[in-house]
């Protein structure tokens, strides 16, 4: 017993998979009952790029195993075409909280693709989707983030959406946000959290 | 092509961007603007070494060279390899006293414990693991343990195989262990024992290349310290995916002190041992 080294190492381990890796073969493996087979199929399909985007999108919405979903999300981040982005946005409406949060994390890493969609997301009829959109803005390194947040706190009727936006403005806001923040207090005079959050944001922006 | 000694070479902004994108696609490593001087200097060194007067010609030569030798040279000089023996010793202690005892609980008797050190750089980490286990882990007497060190830099792999180190590199090793496992070649050179050199396999792996990484499976423990900090978000996620597939269910991964798997991938569970916080691949994945 002790430290050991295998003598025949040329490759560390032979590839253990024996199934077909052409496009159709990989697509059919997405229905395999073993999550590991599905995960490897996703990783191989990812190398087909845009061609695999639709099929991976469909799989993401149906996939129950977290490890397979994670592989799909990484692939979509890699492919980053309109189909992939549209599917990720669609996940924001999912009842599955894990999928929703996973999609938000990926969207945060696609600033150029997501920025043009932000305006629509921030005007979505579903308040939760608008909150998720503000969450995405949090790390979306994009020059228009502050403008978009100002628009939210000036126009959005939902107090929770505005509160989320104010929290973010406290971190990224500049002097430009001050008038809109002050006006927000007038829009929600009965909401103590808004009054508190706005005061905090004003203090941080003016102090920093 | 022979260059006149007074030729002044330079890398334009456009060249830098072009090279940065190319290098990122190949390795997952992205150079920030603040690294411009570092990159320019090394590119110019390689242009001089290969006899090209302008970036465009050198770039084309490097990209389309059939054996990829120049690309490997570039990888070797562009990657950072600063390390030393017994770095972040608490993690080695954690491996010996907490992780491996957990690992063997579920392993069939007589099976192999497998540890992957990536990037292994010039070998300090995998050799440190080996010394630590031999000295402080009683399980070594009962189990076979395999340690594999991998790196993208072939120059570093060669150094690892030779196992010759500076006094600075070995300064944190207790004198008794230095005497036991090293041979002093001269005042400023120590060579690790032949027995240890024979025990560890060193292999070339590009974490960003799935053809390379698909072969790495069935590990119980992975050390990947201070590498992911050089990657962007996408490359970090891809690396986490590679590690997930390389680990056995219930296997562990140790990262550098400033790195956190929780910020990269939701697939691993945080494990708090008395000596260190590490990450674990769950036994069974749930939705």
Closest residue in A to B115 (Cα–Cα): A3
Within a domain: residue B120? yes
The candidate with the shortest Cα–Cα distance to A21, out of A43, A5, A54, A50, is A43
**Interchain CB contacts (distance < 8 Å): A and B:** 88
Quick check: A104 pLDDT over 60?
yes
Per-residue pLDDT at A11: 43
The candidate with the shortest Cα–Cα distance to B117, out of B105, B125, B128, is B125
Closest residue in B to A36 (Cα–Cα): B245
Q: Which chain B residues have any C-beta within 8 angstroms of a chain A C-beta? A: 112, 130, 133-134, 140-148, 196, 198-201, 203, 210, 214-218, 233-234, 237-238, 241, 244-245, 265-267, 285-287
For the annotated catalytic residues of B, the residue numbers are 42, 151
User: What residue numbers bound the domain in which A97 lies?
Assistant: 19-109
Neighbours of A199 (CB within 10 A): 14
Last residue of a domain, one of A109, A144, A161: A109
Tell whether A33 is within 8 A of chain B (Cβ): no
Q: What is the pLDDT of residues B80-128, one digit of tens each?
A: 767 899 999 999 999 999 999 999 998 988 889 999 999 999 999 999 9
Radius of gyration of chain B, Cα coordinates, nearest whole angstrom: 21
Band of the pLDDT at B254, cuts 50, 70, 90?
very high
A74:B112 CB<8 A: no
B234:A109 CB<8 A: yes
What is the number of structural domains in chain A? 2
ipTM more than 0.85? no
A5:B198 CB<8 A: yes
Per-residue pLDDT at B4: 45
Per-residue pLDDT at B95: 97
Last residue of a domain, one of A67, A88, A109: A109
* Beta-ladder partners of A9: none
What is each CA distance from B75 to A37, A139, A179, B12, B16, in whole angstroms? 33, 31, 52, 20, 15
Tell whether A32 is within 8 A of chain B (Cβ): no
B244:A3 CB<8 A: no
A77:B237 CB<8 A: yes
Within a domain: residue A4? no
Q: What average pLDDT does chain B have? A: 90
Query: What 8-state DSSP symbol labels residue A13?
Result: S
What is the number of structural domains in chain B? 2
Helix, coil or strand: residue B266: coil
Nearest CB to A5 within list B133, B199, B285: B199
Neighbours of A76 (CB within 10 A): 27
Neighbours of B245 (CB within 10 A): 20
The candidate with the shortest Cα–Cα distance to A69, out of A113, A94, B251, is A94
Nearest CB to B287 within list A15, A65, A109: A65
CB B230, CB A27: distance < 8 Å: no
Per-residue pLDDT at A10: 43
Contacts of A12 in chain B (CB under 8 A): 148, 203, 215-217
Summarize the confidence of residues A44-61 as an average pLDDT: 94
Query: What 8-state DSSP symbol labels residue B274?
Result: S
Summarize the confidence of residues B28-50 as an average pLDDT: 89
Tell whether B110 and B69 lie within a shared domain: no
Tell whether B195 and B273 lie within a shared domain: yes
Distance CA B124, CA B116 (A): 13
- Residues in contact with B273: Cβ distance below 8 Å, sequence separation at least 6, in sequence order: B94, B98, B99
Summarize the confidence of residues A28-49 as an average pLDDT: 94
Tell whether B173 and B260 lie within a shared domain: yes
Band of the pLDDT at A208, cuts 50, 70, 90?
low
- Burial, A167: exposed, middle or buried (Cβ in 10 Å; 0-12, 13-18, 19+)? middle
| pTM score above 0.90 | no
CB B27, CB B232: distance < 8 Å: no
User: What residue numbers bound the domain in which B24 lies?
Assistant: 13-78
CB A77, CB A70: distance < 8 Å: no
Tell whether B50 and B113 lie within a shared domain: no
CA distance B201 to chain A (A): 7
């Amino acid at each position: 017993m002790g430290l050991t080294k295998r003598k025949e190492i040329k490759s560390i381990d032979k590839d253990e998979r024996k199934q077909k890796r052409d496009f159709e073969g990989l697509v059919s493996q997405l229905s395999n009952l073993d999550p590991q087979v599905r995960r490897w199929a996703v990783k191989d399909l990812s190398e087909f790029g845009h061609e695999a985007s639709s099929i991976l999108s469909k799989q993401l919405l149906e996939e129950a195993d977290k490890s397979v979903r994670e592989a799909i999300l990484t692939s979509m981040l890699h492919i980053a075409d309109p189909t992939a982005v549209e599917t990720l946005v669609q996940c924001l409406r999912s009842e599955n909280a894990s999928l929703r949060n996973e999609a938000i994390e990926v969207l945060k890493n696609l600033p150029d693709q997501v920025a043009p969609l932000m305006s629509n997301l921030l005007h979505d009829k579903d308040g939760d989707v608008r909150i998720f959109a503000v969450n995405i803005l949090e790390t979306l390194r994009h020059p228009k983030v502050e403008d978009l947040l100002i628009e939210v706190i000036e126009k959005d009727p939902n107090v929770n959406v505005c509160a989320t936006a104010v929290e973010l403005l406290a971190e990224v806001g500049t002097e430009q946000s001050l008038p809109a923040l002050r006006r927000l207090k007038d829009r929600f005079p009965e909401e103590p959290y808004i009054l508190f959050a706005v005061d905090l944001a004003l203090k941080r922006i003016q102090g920093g | 092509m022979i260059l006149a000694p007074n030729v002044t070479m330079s890398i334009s902004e456009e060249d830098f961007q072009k090279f940065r994108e190319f290098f990122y696609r190949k390795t997952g490593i992205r150079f920030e603007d603040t690294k411009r001087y570092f990159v320019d200097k090394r590119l110019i060194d390689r242009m001089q070494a290969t006899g090209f007067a302008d970036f465009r010609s050198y770039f084309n030569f490097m990209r389309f060279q059939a054996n990829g030798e120049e690309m490997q040279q570039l990888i070797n000089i562009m990657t950072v390899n600063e390390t030393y023996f017994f770095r972040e010793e608490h993690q080695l202690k954690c491996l010996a006293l907490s992780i491996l005892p957990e690992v063997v609980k579920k392993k069939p008797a007589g099976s192999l414990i497998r540890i992957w050190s990536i990037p292994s750089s010039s070998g300090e980490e995998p050799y440190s693991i080996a010394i630590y286990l031999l000295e402080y882990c009683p399980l070594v007497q009962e189990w076979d343990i395999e340690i594999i060190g991998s790196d993208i830099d072939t120059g570093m792999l060669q150094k690892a195989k030779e196992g010759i180190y500076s006094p600075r590199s070995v300064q944190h090793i207790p004198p008794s262990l230095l005497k036991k496992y090293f041979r002093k070649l001269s005042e400023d050179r120590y060579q690790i024992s032949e027995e240890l050199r024979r025990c560890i396999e060193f292999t070339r792996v590009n974490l960003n290349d799935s053809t390379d990484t698909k072969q790495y499976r069935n590990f119980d423990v992975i050390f990947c310290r201070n590498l992911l900090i050089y990657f962007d978000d996408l490359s970090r996620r891809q690396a986490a995916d590679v590690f997930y597939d390389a680990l056995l269910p219930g296997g562990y991964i140790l990262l550098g002190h400033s790195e956190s798997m929780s910020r990269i991938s939701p697939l691993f569970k945080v494990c708090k041992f008395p000596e260190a916080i590490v990450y674990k691949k769950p036994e069974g994945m749930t939705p």
